[in-house]
Amino acid sequence: MDTPADRIISHFKDISAVPRCSKNEAQLRNRLMQWAEKHRLPAITDNAGNLVIKIPASTGYRDAATVILQGHLDMVCEKTPDSRHDFSRDPIQLVTDGEWLRARQTTLGADNGIALAMAMALVEDEAIRHPALELLFTVDEESGLNGAKKLDAGMLAGRILINLDSETEGEFTIGCAGGMDTRISYEAKFCRLPKSFSLMGLTVSGLHGGHSGIDIHKGRANANVILARALHYLAGKFDQRILTLSGGTAHNAIARDAAAGVAYPAADVKAVQQQLKEIEKTLKSENEAVEPGLTIRLEPGNPNDSQHRCFTDDTAAVCLKLLLAMPHGAVAMSTEMADLVETSTNFATINTAASTVEILTSQRSSVATKLAHLSTRIEAIAGLAGARVSRDNGYPPWQPDPTSPLLERCKSVFRQTFDADPKVAAIHAGLECALIGDHCPGMQMISFGPTIEDPHSPNERLHLPSVGRTWDFLTALLASYDSDG
């Protein structure tokens, strides 16, 4: 006989067959609306595309307060450089690896598909006792909590929200950082590449990557930072021409790969390659504890440029200084909660457009004024280089409330279920609770979920035993809301 965890994973497999990168959630939303119709459940959407499915209360729970179960429809779409996966059409290929579930060469999407799967399994299990439920599934979370920003709060009757988007089993999240993205655009000038130069591709690869909030303090290398260091070093020894720059894929992922189209005098290529080996050796030594797969290569050809144009010397010099000046990593630790990053920045992406070099950074802080200050610092660096700057994807912090009745109920149910105390924490990632709370004054909120490691990277994996234990706690928590509870 299958277990609740088996049924949850079965739903997750169905979800994983549907493409759902950020801003491309319509197909999955339609599937869920069809599922709701099959079970004769009302389903409504707002103008942003957020979905609410309403579940009637079990017998004996009709006088209890409505509870919202919340997750997001989209996933971060990352893959390894050798993967041919097409996120617009291909299903995620799931692989069971002992107690873990992962994907073949891509992100798994357990962040946050497992929340949807748990909600669906709960609705289909008639043995579960619960108050009236509202399943709130938001869109475009991973691009900047955009669905939650535009949420029509009138769709919701409940004022108790359980967010299922945390990633450490046995831990209750009661607060999160706010965030802000900074977009930098530098006007590049180009010239013709001398015919005596050999086209080359310089690549940085093999890095661990990870979530720019949860993993930012773990000392993982950033491919954009390493690329800038390598190019700067080589520029000091050789006549280097830069054709293109690229690196990273998303504002909320630590860059795993970066590349530059470069050119050197043909007579210098062997010497450049030898120097690059020394650079690689140095950087491997600096990062050997966390980045054993770090690789830097210089190979013939540059598939990203067919016009054989390169940056002028002035543009190349300013770009390298700009890249070198971009901060990355934890900036400050919390003075109120042990081991919590307070403020950080992620040097997220670099791209070469037709006439500009585009840089994206993503700042986070649990202190709104420090978030603004860090963003201003980055704007100042860009301004010194003569670049244009804009901000977007801003969202506020979720301030912890350690006296919340919902938190007290969760702690009590957890002790009764597992005979142990849960961990209570705030996180450095962004959660939609911050914005939902703004839309719905008086909302009690908490976040928890099964254990997920390395979200936002192809190393993402879901701990299967934790799915069952999270289910046991969730169902016990809902059952505690009987009419007398």
Active site residues: 74, 141
DSSP string, 235-299: HTTS--EEEEEEE-S-TTEE---EEEEEEEEGGGHHHHHHHHHHHHHHHHHHHTTT-TT-EEEEE
Pairing of strands 329-333, 309-311: unpaired
Kindly state the helix (H) or strand (E) to which residue 161 belongs, with its residue range: strand 160-163
If you search the block for the tokens 């700057």, which residue do you land on? 389
SS3 of residue 394 by DSSP? strand
Torsion angle in degrees (nearest 10) through CA of 227, 230, 233, 235 = -70
Cβ neighbors of 360 (< 8 A, separation 6 or more) are 181, 182, 183, 184, 248, 251, 348, 349
- In sequence order, the β-bridge partners of residue 424 are 172
The token pair at 259 is 């590349």
User: Rounded to whole angstroms, how far apart are CA atoms 130 and 67?
Assistant: 9
Cα 293 to Cα 274: distance, rounded to the nearest angstrom:
19
* Phi, psi dihedral angles at 70 (to 5 degrees): -130, 140
Helix, coil or strand: residue 352: strand
AA identity, residue 95: V
